[in-house]
């Protein structure tokens, strides 16, 4: 088995130079770096990661804690995280917190015990125990998909230009929480093409208990998709088709994704001059089974909705099951539009009109944020928010034409 000394002899450099190339601990001339890489390839040298971790205090591993890994949305996020981690020479350790705060704390503690260099977490609806644990151990962490309220620092967003369609950055005051449909953010010095925005105020950042650290005391980064505006677009589309009673099957209470999508729903109704009826908003708890119950409650109202919007793909499946059980046809009896696209949405009959989230990109950006944090622990916190796309199909009641996909501004 080749050693680092063998690589150094083959490349005509010192062992220290080989170490610098492998660990990135000092700049190396491009031609010298290439000579080392060529020698590594020729000798099939495999670095001793355990020995390296003892020297560098780094294991080149990332812990990923996301619930419902079987959900296609999180599966695609996982693929984005894995590809980006591998590209930068990191391995991945995965755990499922099951959307339970206590289990979340336990699995994150286990990942920390495996000496991961940093964590990427989709936080539960009540992350107070998680935040206390992360703060106590000063663990570099990126939150994805669900935002934690109270993260300090400037923010930036990325939106399509109304003329060219190219993605451009918009800026707004740091720390400001935008209203649904508001397009202002704040500069944070991120590289061109980064997408960020402050999250909607939610219960996710519940006040710390006595003796617990405040979330503002630590530097966390976050990445997610837009939520309010894409949801508003779905509702507005149904309004334009003539619907006046539109039901919403919302997600698990306390999650930022849930509150933001409800905010977008309400914003669209207000813009259309329609009253908000709380009876038309039910929680499916982000799961198919919960959505079955919630959809049943909506459709048995004295004045049931003529259209439904489901707030994630698992709940779309639950809603469809209930519609089938009740013998209702989509879109003839009830129109349907979904937040979350998935690979087989175009195979349903009718084909599902949906908002498509940039799930793989969310995963890749989470890795980039974490590596930036590892490189510069004291840099300002960042919250990246990426645009979604509207995929126009037929479950909303529109004519059967080829799927049309456009980025939502």
pLDDT at 177 over 80: no
Overall average pLDDT of the 118-145 stretch: 93
- pLDDT category at 305 given cuts 50, 70, 90 is very high
Quick one: what percent of the chain has pLDDT higher than 90?
Answer: 60
Res. 74: pLDDT tops 50: yes
pLDDT at 159: 55
Q: How many CA atoms lie within 13 A of 164 on its CB side?
A: 5
Please give the pLDDT value at position 156: 53
What angle, 0 to 180 degrees and rounded to 10, lies between the N-to-C axes of helices 30-43 and 4-11? 120
In the prediction, which pLDDT does 40 show? 87
Task: Find the range with the poorest average confidence among 238-242, 344-348, 360-364, 393-397.
Answer: 344-348
Summarised one tens digit per residue, pLDDT across range 155-166 is 556 554 544 444
**Collapsed DSSP state (helix, strand, coil) of residue 173:** coil
Query: pLDDT tens digit string along 203-253?
Result: 434 545 555 555 555 689 999 999 999 999 999 999 999 999 999 999 999
Looking at the predicted structure, is the pLDDT value of residue 290 above 90?
yes
What digits encode the pLDDT tens for the residues 396-407? 999 887 666 767
Q: How far is CA 340 from the centre of its chain?
A: 12
Count of beta carbons in the 10 Å neighbourhood of residue 233:
20
């Amino acid at each position: 088995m080749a050693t680092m000394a063998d690589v150094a002899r083959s490349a005509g450099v010192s062992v220290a130079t080989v170490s610098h190339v492998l660990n990135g601990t000092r700049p190396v001339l491009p031609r010298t770096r290439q000579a080392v890489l060529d020698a590594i390839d020729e000798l099939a040298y495999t670095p001793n990661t355990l020995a390296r971790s003892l020297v560098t205090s780094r294991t080149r591993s990332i812990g990923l804690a996301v619930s419902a890994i079987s959900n296609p949305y999180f599966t695609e996020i996982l693929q984005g995280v894995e590809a980006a981690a591998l590209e930068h020479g990191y391995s991945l350790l995965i755990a499922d917190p099951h959307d339970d705060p206590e289990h979340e704390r336990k699995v994150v503690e286990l990942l920390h015990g495996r000496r991961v260099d940093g964590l990427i977490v989709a936080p539960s609806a009540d992350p107070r125990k998680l935040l206390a644990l992360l703060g106590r151990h000063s663990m570099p962490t990126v939150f994805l998909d669900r935002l934690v309220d109270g993260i300090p620092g400037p923010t930036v967003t990325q939106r399509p230009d109304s003329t060219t369609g190219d993605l451009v950055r918009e800026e707004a005051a740091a720390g400001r929480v935008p209203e649904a449909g508001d397009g202002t953010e704040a500069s944070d010095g991120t590289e061109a093409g980064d997408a960020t925005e402050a999250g909607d105020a939610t219960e996710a950042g519940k006040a710390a208990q006595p003796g617990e650290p405040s979330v503002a005391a630590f530097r966390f980064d976050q990445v997610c998709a837009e939520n309010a505006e894409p949801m508003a677009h779905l509702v507005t589309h149904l309004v334009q088709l003539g619907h006046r009673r539109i039901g919403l099957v919302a997600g698990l209470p306390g999650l930022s994704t849930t509150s933001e999508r409800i905010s977008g729903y309400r914003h669209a109704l207000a813009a259309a001059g329609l009253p908000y009826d709380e009876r038309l908003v039910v929680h499916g708890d982000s799961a198919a089974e919960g959505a079955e119950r919630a959809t049943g409650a909506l459709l048995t109202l004295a004045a049931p909705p003529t259209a439904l919007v489901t707030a994630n793909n698992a709940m779309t499946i639950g809603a469809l099951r209930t519609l089938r059980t009740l013998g209702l046809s989509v879109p003839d009896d009830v129109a349907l539009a979904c937040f979350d696209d998935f690979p087989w949405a175009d195979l349903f009959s009718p084909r599902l009109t949906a908002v498509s989230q940039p799930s793989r990109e969310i995963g890749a950006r989470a890795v980039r944020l974490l590596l930036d944090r590892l490189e510069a622990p004291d840099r300002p916190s960042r919250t990246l928010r990426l645009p979604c796309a509207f995929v126009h199909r037929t479950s909303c009641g529109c004519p059967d034409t080829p799927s049309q996909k456009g980025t939502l501004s």
